[in-house]
Homo-oligomer: A and B are copies of this chain.
Amino acid sequence: MDPKILTLYVIPDRRQGAPRSILEQTAAALEGGATAIQLRDKELSARELTDLASRMTEMCRKKGAKLFVNDRLDVALAAGADGCHLGQSDLPLAAARKLAPRPFLLGRSARTVEQARVALEEGADYLGVGAVYPTGTKDDASVIGVEGLKAVVEFTSLPVVAIGGIGSSSVREVMATGASGVAVVSAVVGTPDPTASAVELLKLMIKP
């Protein structure tokens, strides 16, 4: 896959992004130049998720961005999304790859070089690597630090999107590891102006 897709990967969140809806957060992030959006929500039914993913896919398409659905490969496929992101406790990747051949995109979370190796072998298109910094988003997020991120980036041939507590003060340090981009929640949707925050992050990522 084109690693540029991963440049600014925004994950709307009904709590951190409140009072904006997931759709409003998506629109604001895309307006600011987000290259990918991930739909991640554990409260909606599959029917509601599918409807939402369909609308978000359309919004992304108009802006040349990609829509990924977290965990639910069936929802991603039913909605015509561009891809699905699978954590280590989500669907077995090899089985997912069989159900969803390329050009459908499959992302996999990987905290270690070993997980990265297996993900490549099983057919991942990109890796989500982190948590780089402590984050309030996931209770169980284990911090691997910039060094941990760098270890995976240097090992793998897959494009890597770094995730976990990344913001304007750390994005340069993260990109210096060779990661293709950053995945963010609060640094975009948790700010008063998500569009401006996305624009600022992208500016910081352009090498001086």
Contact surface of A with B, Cβ cutoff 8 Å: 45-48, 50, 71-75, 77-79, 88-92, 95-96, 98-99
Contact = CB atoms under 8 A, between A and B. Distances in A.
A96 to B, nearest CB: 7
Contacts of A71: 46
A57 to B, nearest CB: 13
A16 to B, nearest CB: 23
A78 B50 contact: no
Contacts of A91: 46-47, 50, 74-75, 78
Secondary structure dominating the interface of A: helix
20 contacts: A46-B89, A47-B88, A47-B89, A47-B90, A50-B92, A50-B95, A72-B72, A73-B74, A74-B74, A74-B77, A74-B91, A74-B96, A75-B91, A77-B95, A77-B99, A78-B91, A78-B96, A78-B98, A78-B99, A99-B99
Nearest to A44: B89
This chain: how many copies in the complex?
A: 2
A90 to B, nearest CB: 5
A77 B77 CA distance: 13
A73 B95 CA distance: 13
A31 to B, nearest CB: 29
B90 A78 contact: no
A189 B123 CA distance: 40
Nearest to A98: B78
A178 B50 CA distance: 34
Contacts of A79: 95
Given A74-B99, A77-B99, A99-B74, A89 B50 contact: no
